[in-house]
A and B are shown apart, each in its own frame.
Chain A
Amino acid sequence: MTAPWQGRAGWPLWEVFVRARRGLSHTHVGSLHAPDAELALRNARDLYTRRQEGVSIWVVPAQAITASSPDEKDAFFEPAADKVYRHPTFYPVPDGAAHL
């Protein structure tokens, strides 16, 4: 019988997000294995904030993340390529419009 923590396959994968400074958003920095959320947070502290990289850490079960697939790249992202009107620079600034 193999208990859940025996063997690396038993410890679930967690994705780690670190906020470098107040005012910045959390950024994905990597992943790690841990038996539960509390230890994932501590492992993240040891692995990813050793050199004062952060002031706040999020850990998220990798399973909880739904990611876009590389196969869907064209359908997801290609259509945006020719829609220049989605960028503010597409529109001329009217004369006299202040505070832009």
Chain B
Amino acid sequence: MNTADVPVNAPGTPVRTTVDAPVNTPGTPARTTVDYLLGLGDDALVAAQRLGEWVTAAPELEEDVALANIALDQLGAARLLLSHAGELEGAGRDEDALAYLRSDREYRNCLLVELPNGDFATTMAKLLFLSAYQLPLYAALSGCADERLAAIAGKARKEVAYHLDHASIWTVRLGDGTPESHRRMRAAVAELWPYTNELFVADPAAPVDPAGLRSAFLANVEPVLETATLERPADGWGPDGGRAGLHTEHLSYLLAEMQVLHRAHPGARW
């Protein structure tokens, strides 16, 4: 399973191969910036930290392992991306310095990933939106001019295809489940939908312009919501600011927990 290059499609949904995001090819002014890499890496790092909170607390042992697996996939991508960012920056900061010694204002992740896990439906809605965005993003980046970034994205896209599959399956089961699970899943989708706006704010100078990814994101998400008998929320205003370091208060608590050991015992290893 999950070794194919093409994303795994959930039952009842069309095959997700649509990636019409414009890839900026060599010769165009687009280039990888440290901030851009931090955005990618911080999304993955913060998502990994949130998913890791489910370890020992998931509804079932099997789901516990599944969420930990996904968290470790995201963490693996985060390490590669932050290392790349640190070397590109050239200020001597490695992945640990970037992960453990930046404050919330220096983090570039989207707000979606830093929001609390909430109930299981909320966690699955967060994962659905994140992976539905990351899949076309990594697919497009795997053809970008920055060869190192392209290689990281090529590896991560296969993992993210599985994350999307996992989140899609649970969204369908909860949405099309009991009245209680439907109520919770619908509430989660409605609450989080506005946070997806931030993912697609145009950035023409980026290796892949996020604005071009939205149609692929919708192609991933809308059939899942329909199969799950969930209404697709209307588009409207959505909060943003994460890419500029303006976060919710939730990120500060997350970072405090994630960074306390390294800050108390710099360079600690085990």
Contact = CB atoms under 8 A, between A and B. Distances in A.
A57 interface: yes
A47 interface: yes
Interface string A44-56: 0111011000000
Contact of A43 (B11, B59, B62, B165): B62
Contacts of B1: 41-42, 45, 49, 57
B66 A38 contact: no
Interface residues of A, number: 20
Contacts, number: 37
B262 interface: no
B169 A3 contact: no
Contacts of A76: none
B28 interface: no
A58 to B, nearest CB: 12
A26 interface: no
A32 B165 CA distance: 20
B66 A43 contact: yes
A49 B3 CA distance: 12
Interface string B148-187: 0000000000000000011001000100001000000000
Interface of A: 3, 5, 8, 11, 32-36, 38-39, 41-43, 45-47, 49-50, 57
5 contacts: A8-B60, A33-B62, A34-B62, A35-B173, A46-B62
Closest 8 CB pairs of A and B: A43-B62, A46-B66, A45-B1, A46-B69, A46-B65, A32-B62, A47-B65, A33-B62
